[in-house]
């Protein structure tokens, strides 16, 4: 899955999460050249989600501090600051803010990747799964 940023020439800025969901089969992510945009818009790749570590991001919302909150389809919720125009997401800025043991097991069953090992840091996180319904 890729996070893609739509930028309208002028003052409007719209972040966009490319919902390339990995289910039972892998879907090829389109190249920037394959995506059609309205006139006056351009697209840039901000971040490629490492599927084996952060899963498949399927929901996104913005908090009151200008950060994106994203939800893994079968696991935790992540948060990171929205980068400035023309910049990419700094992978070190991505914080996992919840962990779902049930979601991690579902990930293994559905897409074949093992859940993250339980670390002291993960053990401290709220045990809440994905939040597609909260990211509206």
69-119: pLDDT as tens digits: 888 877 788 999 999 888 999 999 999 888 776 655 665 655 565 666 677
Query: What's this model's pTM, rounded to 2 decimal places?
Result: 0.64
pLDDT tens digits, 22-58: 343 345 667 777 888 888 888 888 888 887 778 778 8
Cα–Cα distance measured from residue 26 to residue 5, given in angstroms and rounded to the nearest whole number? 22
For residue 20, CA distances in Å to 8, 114, 121, 122 come to: 22, 20, 29, 26
Residue among 46, 32, 25 at smallest CA distance from 88: 46
| Structural domain count, the chain | 1
Domain, as residue range, for 8: 2-134
Cα–Cα dist 50/56, whole Å: 8
Cβ atoms 4, 17 nearer than 8 A:
yes
- CA 68 from chain centre, in angstroms, equals 9
Q: Residue 81 has what pLDDT?
A: 95
């Amino acid at each position: 899955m890729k996070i893609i940023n739509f930028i309208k020439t002028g003052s409007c800025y719209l972040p966009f999460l490319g919902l390339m969901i990995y289910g039972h089969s892998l879907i090829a992510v389109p190249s920037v050249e394959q995506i059609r945009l309205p006139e006056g818009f351009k697209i840039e790749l901000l971040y490629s989600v490492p599927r084996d570590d952060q899963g498949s991001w399927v929901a996104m919302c913005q908090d009151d501090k200008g950060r994106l909150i994203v939800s893994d389809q079968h696991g935790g919720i992540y948060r990171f600051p929205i980068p400035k125009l023309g910049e990419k997401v700094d992978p070190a800025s991505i914080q996992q803010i919840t962990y779902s043991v049930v979601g991690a097991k579902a990930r293994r069953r559905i897409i074949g990747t093992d859940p993250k090992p339980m670390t002291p840091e993960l053990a401290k996180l709220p045990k809440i799964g994905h939040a597609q319904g909260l990211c509206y």
